[in-house]
Amino acid sequence: VQLQASGGGLVQAGASLRLSCVISGLNSRKNGVGWFRQAPGKEREFVAAITWNAAYTYEADSVKGRFLISREYAKNTVYLQMNSLKLEDTAIYYCALEKGGYLRGGARYPSTYDFWGQGTLVTVSS
């Protein structure tokens, strides 16, 4: 299983970016996907997650109302639309996959996920 995250870049505060996570090497669509981020000198933190059927989505309080997670089955891709970016959103963003599909271990916990992508850097400047 491979997860390829992309879409990061350098933007000004207030701008938008859309991250993509392309999933390959799986025959089943029944997987949950989460986005995490890690800023320099800080621990990895949960950003957002979505169940396999998109019936449930979860967002961290720090991004609620600004970030939106979605998925497109035809492209085996999960997106993270990031709006109204702030300086504190600067981090490496990772996508992760959970094989069960329902995130039963808790969407916010890294231990819930079975596979991780390599990360994409988002830098927000003033």
Give the mean pLDDT of the chain: 96
Query: In whole angstroms, what is the distance from residue 64 CA to residue 38 CA?
Result: 18
Nearest to 5 by CA among 32, 36, 46, 40: 36
pLDDT at position 28 over 90: no
pLDDT for res 110: 96
Beta strand pairing status for 77-82 and 57-59?
Answer: unpaired
pLDDT band at 29 (very low <50, low <70, confident <90, very high): confident
Instruction: Give mean pLDDT, residues 13-19.
Output: 98
Q: Span 15-44, mean pLDDT?
A: 95
Burial class (CB within 10 angstroms; exposed 0-12, middle 13-18, buried 19+) of 113: buried
Q: How confident is the model at residue 116 (pLDDT cuts 50, 70, 90)?
A: very high
Dist. CA 110–CA 116, nearest whole Å = 10
pLDDT at position 57 is 97
Residue 27 has pLDDT above 90, yes or no: no
